[in-house]
Structure 1
Amino acid sequence: MAAFALASTVLAGVAHARDQIRIVGSSTVFPYTQAVAEQYAASTGNAAPVVESTGTGGGMKIFCQGVGEDQADLTGASRAMKKSEFEACAKNGVVDVTEIQLGYDGLSIAVSRANDFDWDLTEAQIFNALAAEVEKDGQVVANPYKTWSEIDPSLPDVAIQVFGPPPTSGTRDAFVELTMHEGCATFPVLKALEGDRKNEVCSRMRQDGPFIEAGENDNLIVQRIEADPNALGIFGYSFLYENSDKLKAVKVEGIEPTFETIADFSYDIARPIFIYIKNAHRGVIPGMNEFIAEYVSDAALGPDGYLAERGLTPLSDDLRKEMQDRATGSVKMDQPQS
């Protein structure tokens, strides 16, 4: 109660001290939030929210720092909030949070359209290209592969060069879980590993050059692979969709990412994306409720909404209605299980 009273006191003067909503979080969610911010500003005449691309993990740290005028109001995430993040929020007085699933996003592997090879990679091939350690001749060894053709003779005889997100990114977390772990499980020696050692081998990306961490700005990855026809990049589907004149998708297990294959999960690397709302700031930060209403509106999240035009794979009608009710009702989320 003391923490809540302090938060209320701190927030009492916020309306006069800050007239812009502050949003942090995932680079994947960033373009959607930016689009909603622009629509909100245009329709209300209010100042556009400040939207920062900090990565999912970085956004959670900022969001969970506390309640008050100098704290973020919402954060975007390309994975669900972790139990440890929920606990960090609670420790700092952020005890009333609403979780909203926005839709689905496919993790795309893309290449420049100047590259004329018909790329189709298995999860095992992706693992062998990007893992720090791989299985070779029945042993776990440091990754020796320098070219794609060394992994499979049917692949191009060019150096492996893949630009991807850093460890603070939810896209990185999802890629490791959905692709690297699945690829790892196809190798019998790696599959037989146990405990921390198995998690380390199946999760750790190589750091000897072929995998390049390109920061939280996915547009930078787009620029890098556009400039180098032999380089591949990893980012959310929206960035591929918006740059389809310059880039093309790499198929994974024979499936290309599209709205349909992401929605029905036939494309293996698909995940839900979220925003998290700090309810203590609602009704205090000017326009926050109106911004949230715009974000969850049919005009934004619906199958014909303006976020679908930017690459968001929409929720079903029933689930979208559930999220709208959750948002307008400020429904407090439960503690995550992991």
Structure 2
Amino acid sequence: MKKLLALCAAAVAISAAGSAHAARDYVWAAGSSTVFPFTTRVAENFGRKTGMKAPKVESLGTGGGIKLFCSGVGDNFPDIANASRRMTAAEFDTCRANGVNDIVEMKVGFDGIVIAADRNAPTYQFRLPHLYLALSAKTLRGGQFVDNPYTNWNEIGPGLADNRILVYGPPPTSGTRDAFIELGIEAGALTFPTVQALKARDEDEFKQTTHPLRREGWVDAGENDNAIVQTLTKTPGALGVFGYSFMEENQDQVKAMPIDGVEPTVPTIADGSYPLSRSLYIYVKKAHVGVTQGLQEFVNEFASDAATGRGGYLQGRGLIPLPADQHEAMKSVASGMTPMRRP
């Protein structure tokens, strides 16, 4: 009886949201280009195992996926948002304002952001300050914030090649870009006392000064990380920013650069010693469970030992698994559909 009442309540919620259609007979996930191949692989296995329709998976970028996810409840909106960063408090509030309550947050594994080049390119010995000085629209020079004056990498620091600064990376809607700015640009900026003082004095001004990327030298290359890989093989001297999993899949064509002397590897990303390590997430609408056909089963498959556990099939795809205790906690969240708190 309780289960029946819960199903009825969920159906009423979707009806109240204005859906004029029957509940979908397939799961819909949208968001991060980094999480996209992992969700696609789970979708394929889910379809084979259950005989249900394979979920629809879209690569819109983390920001775009969460925006669509938070736009409402019902079959016109995704059941799942894929994210290569954590949902922000502002996004959570937008969800609530649009009637999207009881959001289930699942951390599914780790990935690293790499700075890569064609395999025949020189190896750059990057340090975090180099990333800030080279790629921020405004940078420190002589103790003052000025429009970025640097054109070649060897102007930034020793150990960097005499190549022009040209980096292909993700657009503003991408969680990879958000994480790169936080873990690379912002962290590099905060190695300077002047920037530390600015942040202590005014957090908003600090972000406005350090977060925008330069227009000359940084190229928004869309949400297709494979396209960036292909660009690097055809553009001598160019660098690219994308997820470790894509680098691993294409290591016959590109190589990753060390950051602060640490190479991006499965162990260094998992233990956080690689500076550009990050967590990957999926967000699920609890109101759609029991209404969208197969949603609970799909989430259970994502959280399973076979998929995201150590040695699971997503590890073979490049996902770096959670420690055992975190993985077990994710399985409990998935089976119980435990809603998250406001970030």
Residue equivalent to 2:42: 36
Contact 1:14 1:284 in 2 (8 A): no
Residue equivalent to 1:190: 195
- Show the 5 A alignment for 1:199-278: 199-207=207-215, 209-278=216-285
Are 1:145 and 2:153 matched, yes or no?
no
The amino acid of 2:247's aligned partner reads L
Contact 1:140 1:190 in 2 (8 A): no
The amino acid of 1:179's aligned partner reads G
Residue equivalent to 2:172: 167
Are 1:52 and 2:52 matched, yes or no?
no
The amino acid of 2:43's aligned partner reads A
Contact 2:113 2:180 in 1 (8 A): yes
Residue equivalent to 1:84: 90
Displacement, 1:13? 8.7
Contact 1:113 1:229 in 2 (8 A): no
- Show the 5 A alignment for 1:254-333: 254-333=261-340
Contact 2:108 2:321 in 1 (8 A): yes
Residue equivalent to 2:3: none
Identify which of 80, 95, 103 aligns with 1:97. 103
Deviation by residue 1:286-308 (Cα, 9 ceiling, x = unmatched): 11111111111001001100111
Displacement, 1:201? 1.9
Contact 1:226 1:247 in 2 (8 A): yes
Q: Structure 2 vs 1, CA of residues 298 and 4 (structure 1 numbering), >3 Å: closer, same or farther?
A: closer
Contact 1:64 1:88 in 2 (8 A): yes
- SS of the residue corresponding to residue 69 of structure 1 reads coil
Identify which of 89, 102, 112 aligns with 1:106. 112
| Structure 1 Cα separation of the partners of residues 338 and 261 of structure 2 | 40
Contact 2:132 2:185 in 1 (8 A): yes
| Structure 1 Cα separation of the partners of residues 322 and 305 of structure 2 | 11
The amino acid of 1:262's aligned partner reads I
Are 1:125 and 2:130 matched, yes or no?
yes
| Structure 2 Cα separation of the partners of residues 181 and 11 of structure 1 | 40
Contact 1:25 1:57 in 2 (8 A): yes
Displacement, 1:258? 0.6
| Structure 1 Cα separation of the partners of residues 12 and 290 of structure 2 | 17
Contact 1:94 1:278 in 2 (8 A): yes
Contact 1:14 1:68 in 2 (8 A): no
| Structure 1 Cα separation of the partners of residues 65 and 154 of structure 2 | 39
| Structure 2 Cα separation of the partners of residues 282 and 273 of structure 1 | 22
| Structure 2 Cα separation of the partners of residues 14 and 262 of structure 1 | 46
Contact 1:11 1:69 in 2 (8 A): no
- SS of the residue corresponding to residue 235 of structure 1 reads strand
- SS of the residue corresponding to residue 192 of structure 1 reads helix
Displacement, 1:5? 7.5
- SS of the residue corresponding to residue 52 of structure 2 reads coil
- SS of the residue corresponding to residue 59 of structure 2 reads coil
TM-score (norm 2): 0.92
- SS of the residue corresponding to residue 141 of structure 1 reads strand
Q: How many residues align?
A: 332
Deviation by residue 1:157-186 (Cα, 9 ceiling, x = unmatched): 111110111111111111111111111112
Deviation by residue 1:106-134 (Cα, 9 ceiling, x = unmatched): 1111111121x122201111111101111
Q: Structure 2 vs 1, CA of residues 29 and 150 (structure 1 numbering), >3 Å: closer, same or farther?
A: same
Residue equivalent to 1:157: 162
Displacement, 1:189? 2.8
Deviation by residue 1:236-267 (Cα, 9 ceiling, x = unmatched): 11111111111111110011111100011110
| Structure 2 Cα separation of the partners of residues 199 and 11 of structure 1 | 37
Superposition RMSD on alpha carbons, in Å? 1.9
Contact 1:26 1:170 in 2 (8 A): yes
The amino acid of 2:172's aligned partner reads P
Identify which of 25, 28, 32 aligns with 1:26. 32
- The runs of 5 or more residues in structure 2 that have no matched partner are 1-8
The amino acid of 1:155's aligned partner reads L
TM-score (norm 1): 0.93
Identify which of 74, 78, 97 aligns with 2:80. 74
| Structure 2 Cα separation of the partners of residues 189 and 297 of structure 1 | 47
State percent identity of aligned pairs. 47
Deviation by residue 1:82-141 (Cα, 9 ceiling, x = unmatched): 1111111111111111100001111111111121x1222011111111011111122221
Residue equivalent to 2:6: none
- SS of the residue corresponding to residue 251 of structure 1 reads coil
